[in-house]
Amino acid sequence: MHLDEEGQAWERRPGAASLPLPAGYMPRSPEGTVLHRVVRECLPSFLAEARERSEHGFGLPRFVEEEFSRYIDCGVIARGFMRVRCGACGDEIFVGFSCKRRGVCPSCTSRRALDAAAHLVSAVLPVAPMRQWVLTVPKRVRWMLARRPHLVSRCLAIFLRALSTHQRQRASAMGVNDGRSGFVTFVQRFSSALQMNIHFHVVVPDGVFTATDDGGGAAFHRLPNPSDDDVEKLLRVTAARIVRMLRKEVDDDGKDADALAALEAASLQTKPASSMSNDPPKKRLSAFLEGFSLHAATHIHENDRLGLERLCRYGARGAITLARLAELPDGRVSYHMKRPLPDGRTHLVLTGMELLRKLAPLIPPPRFHLQRFHGVLAPNAKLRPLVVPVPPPVSTVAIVEETIFDTPVVKTTSSPYRMDWAAALKKVWGFDVLACGRCGGRLRIVAFIEKPSVVKAILDHLGLPSTSLPLTKATGPPQLVLDW
C-alpha cells in the first residue's frame, strides 16, 4: 500500500491510478442529468436572488447552500475517484465519490432509504403485524414547525402519547395490564407536488408487549383492528393538544422571517382548483378535522417482511426522483407527480429557478432527525433487547495491506448499522456491481484519490476531463426594454 503524507491518495502499487484505461472507456457523467444541469445553471442566480430579497442581506442558511454545492460534486470524478480493477480480465473503471447528503441528491437519499429499511427490518422492527399511521397537520402548523424544528418533536410526542394510551386501554379491556407500545417514525418534509408538507409516517406493531414473569422475555398481545371511530377520536385528541401546545409556545411566528422563510411560505401556498371541495372524500380508517388528517388503513402481515421493508423504504425516501424529471424543448422541466392535483394536473412544469425555489424548503436542517424511535423500540428501552429480531451476522470488509516484506496482512472492519452500496443494489435490483461486466470476475480497489492536485494530474494524463463543469454566472431577472 502506498499513501501520500496527507492521506488523500492511495495506490495498491505505484502508478496504479494512472495506468492506461481500456479502449473506448468513458466514466459515468452525472452532469448529464436534468437536475444537475438545473442546479449548475441556476444556483448562482438563485442564491443572489435570495440575498437580495433577504431582510438582512444574508440570503439562505449555510446548510441550504452546502446541500446544493455538494450535490454538484456528487459522482464527479474531477472531485476525486476510486479506480477499480477486475482480477480476472483486468478491466478497470472509475467510481466517483458521493455527496452523502439527505435533501436534494436523489442517489444519496435513495441509498439512505435502502440502508434504513434494511436495518429496521433486520434489527429493529419485531416479527409482528404492523400498521402505519400517517398524521398530517394544517398549513399554518406546518409553517410553525418549519420555523421552529424543535416543535416537531413536541407534536410527534403528543400524537404518540395519545396512540399509546389508546393501545393500552384496548389491551386492558382484553385483560392485558402494563402493555407497552413501540414506534418508528419517519418525518417527511415534502409532498408529491414538491411542496413543503411536514407530516409523520409512524410504523407501529399492531399490539402491545409485556415482560414475562421470569423477566427473561417479552410476550406480544395482538389488538383488534382500529375502527373509524377510533381514528376520529385519536385525531380529535391529537389536534386539540397540538393547538393548545402551539398557542403556548409560539407568540409571533413571523418575527424571524428570512429568505428561507419566504420560500417556505411560498411552498405552502396552493392555487385552489375550481373542482376542489372543502371536505376530502371519506376513506376507510381515515379522519379529517380542520386541516388535520389521520390515516391508518395500511396494514402489514407479520410474515410479510418484504412488504414491511418496502413500507420503510417509502417512509425514508427522498423528496425528488430523477425518473420523474424530464427536460422540455423550451428549456423548462416537467416533474411527474405521484398523484394528480385537484385540478387534474399530473405534471409540474417549472423553470430552473422555480424548481430550486421548491427544493430549498424541503432540505432538512442540520441535526434534524428524520427517523425517530419511541416506546419499547427506543434505544435505551428495557424491553428493546427482548422484542427486536436477532440481528444478522455482522458483515466484514477485508482490507489487504502490503508490508515492506510483501507479506499480505488482512484487517477487517465491520459496521452493524450500514449496508454497503453494492449489497443494497443487489438486494433491490439483483445486480452485482462488484462483478465485472465483461467476464463476471470480482472487482477490487487499486487506487483511492482525493487530493485535488493528484486528481487533476492523473485525469490530464489519461485525457479525461479534469475539471467539473463551471457554474453559470448569476444573472438578474429579465428587464423591461422600452422602445422610444
Mean pLDDT of the chain: 84
Local confidence band at 160 (pLDDT 50, 70, 90 cut-offs):
very high
Q: How far is CA 40 from CA 235, 401, 460, 471, in A?
A: 44, 40, 23, 5
User: pLDDT at residue 112 above 70?
Assistant: yes
Question: What are the pLDDT digits (tens) for 369-420?
Answer: 999 999 999 999 999 999 998 765 554 444 334 433 333 433 444 455 566 6
Look up cell 422475555; give the residue. Answer: 217
The whole-angstrom separation of Cα 114 and Cα 104 is 16
Q: Which of 39, 27, 28 is nearest to 66 (CA)?
A: 39
Q: What pLDDT, on a 0 to 100 scale, did the predictor assign at position 280?
A: 58
Q: What pLDDT, on a 0 to 100 scale, did the predictor assign at position 273?
A: 41
Q: What percent of the residues of the chain are helix, what percent strand, and what percent coil, each to the nearest 5?
A: 35, 20, 45
The whole-angstrom separation of Cα 330 and Cα 99 is 30
Question: What are the pLDDT digits (tens) for 261-292?
Answer: 888 888 887 654 443 445 556 778 999 999 99
Q: Which distant-in-sequence residues (6+ apart) come within 8 Å of 307 by Cβ?
A: 300, 301
Instruction: Return the percentage of the chain with pLDDT > 90, whole number.
Output: 50
Question: What are the pLDDT digits (tens) for 125-149?
Answer: 999 999 999 999 999 999 999 999 9
**In one letter, which amino acid is 452?**
P
Minimum mean pLDDT among 26-35, 238-247, 283-292, 437-446: which range?
437-446
Question: What are the pLDDT digits (tens) for 176-217?
Answer: 999 999 999 999 999 988 999 999 999 999 999 999 877 678
Q: What is the mean pLDDT of residues 75-93?
A: 84
Q: What pLDDT, on a 0 to 100 scale, did the predictor assign at position 203?
A: 97
Q: pLDDT: is 369 or 15 the higher one?
A: 369
Q: What pLDDT, on a 0 to 100 scale, did the predictor assign at position 283?
A: 79
